[in-house]
Amino acid sequence: MGVESTGEFDLIREIRRRVSGLSAVRLGIGDDCAVIEESTNGDWIVTTDMMMDGRHFVLEECGPVAVGVKAMGVNLSDIAAMAGEPVAAFTSVALPRSRARETAMGLMEGMTRMATEYGVALAGGDTNAWDGPLVVNVTLMGRVERGGEVRRSGARIGDSVFVTGKLGGSLLGRHLSPVPRVREAAALRRVVDLHAMIDLSDGLSSDLRHILEESGGLGATIDAGGVPIHSDSRLASERDGKSPLEHALGDGEDFELCFTVGPEDAERLVAHPPGGVVVHRIGTIEREPGVRLRTEDGKLVPMEVAGFDHLRGG
């Protein structure tokens, strides 16, 4: 707690008024804790992500509503990546003191917009103000059938690798309006056995490696010609001279899903993707560790890791 000058409790009351309930949340905003119903046939999955002004967004440029959308969106994307159903969100905010109230209201507008669209209840949080920049954290609880979460660790040799949409160049703007693939993941899990899955936040070349490492040190070959390249990658390419493919493989914050399925499921998925779900088959899981790129003229070249690493700074 602690937005003394702007009336923390008024602010929370206002937030509370704007938030709608949900059956699994037996008690939401207003008490010391939220109460979430036990998940009888399933497990809870929980994720949390923090975003800082100057690092994940520039408040001056994008405004607080976009920050709220992104803060909720990136967490929804993590729930999607395990094929879960999002249920309840908690948010902690450090507001810049000089504009605490307008910032909080904008943030909440963005968050509740996403929460409503994805059927999530905003069930609690913490509100602070300080002389530093805006920092927002969202924690999101979701549900899966018992043992039904799709992990990073399930890829097998011979699996096909898929992504759910076009990649690259998101820094030109798309990174502020993620479209978390919650429905797509649910639709996919109904029709195929998803072996491993991750959402693309750091860039395909980096995130695919997490699947490979967690799956016991496997490798993959990616077909350059199969990688769906977003038009933003071409725009970014015109600006910095890197190729559109490099942008598609290396840029972060696409928030598409990358997943692997066995050969038969792969054929079925390519022939009959579930309604409304876009899938691109981009490669194959192999025993040989490392990631290779098969160029359009058939050569195999090592794929470099170009994804974003916060501790390395780029």
Binding site for ligand ADP (CB under 6 A): 1, 12, 15, 29-32, 91, 93, 122, 124-127
Return the H-helix or E-strand segment holding 50: strand 42-52
Longest dimension (CA), the chain: 64
Select from 24-32, 46-54, 62-70, 126-134 the region that touches Mg ion (CB under 5 A): 24-32
Q: Which is nearer to ligand ADP, 129 or 257 (CB)?
A: 129
Q: Which is nearer to ligand ADP, 121 or 208 (CB)?
A: 121
Choose the one of ligand ADP, Mg ion, none that binds residue 271, judging by a C-beta under 5 to 8 angstroms depending on kind.
none
Beta carbon of residue 74, minimum distance to ligand ADP (angstroms, whole number): 17
Binding to Mg ion by residue 32, rule CB under 5 A? yes
Q: Which is nearer to ligand ADP, 95 or 249 (CB)?
A: 95
Beta carbon of residue 267, minimum distance to ligand ADP (angstroms, whole number): 46
Alpha-carbon distance of 206 to 309, in angstroms, equals 9
Beta carbon of residue 54, minimum distance to ligand ADP (angstroms, whole number): 21
Alpha-carbon distance of 281 to 266, in angstroms, equals 8
Beta carbon of residue 32, minimum distance to Mg ion (angstroms, whole number): 4
φ, ψ of residue 94 in degrees (nearest 5): -110, 105
Q: Which is nearer to ligand ADP, 87 or 245 (CB)?
A: 87
Alpha-carbon distance of 111 to 75, in angstroms, equals 11
Q: Which is nearer to Mg ion, 126 or 286 (CB)?
A: 126
Distances (CA, A) of 15 to 30, 112, 204: 10, 9, 37
Distances (CA, A) of 22 to 46, 82, 118, 120: 17, 21, 12, 7
Choose the one of ligand ADP, Mg ion, none that binds residue 47, judging by a C-beta under 5 to 8 angstroms depending on kind.
none
Q: Which is nearer to Mg ion, 32 or 296 (CB)?
A: 32
Distances (CA, A) of 219 to 11, 200, 222, 283: 51, 18, 10, 11
Beta carbon of residue 126, minimum distance to ligand ADP (angstroms, whole number): 5
Binding to Mg ion by residue 297, rule CB under 5 A? no
Cβ(181)–Cβ(80) below 8 Å? yes
Bridge partners of 124, per DSSP, are 90
Q: Which is nearer to Mg ion, 33 or 311 (CB)?
A: 33
Binding to Mg ion by residue 31, rule CB under 5 A? no
Alpha-carbon distance of 222 to 305, in angstroms, equals 13
Select from 7-15, 19-27, 29-37, 280-288 the region that touches Mg ion (CB under 5 A): 29-37
Within positions 90 to 149, which residues make up the interface with Mg ion, using CB under 5 A? none
Bridge partners of 95, per DSSP, are 129
Q: What would the two tokens of residue 229 be?
A: 């390249």
Choose the one of ligand ADP, Mg ion, none that binds residue 188, judging by a C-beta under 5 to 8 angstroms depending on kind.
none
Binding site residues, Mg ion, CB under 5 A: 32
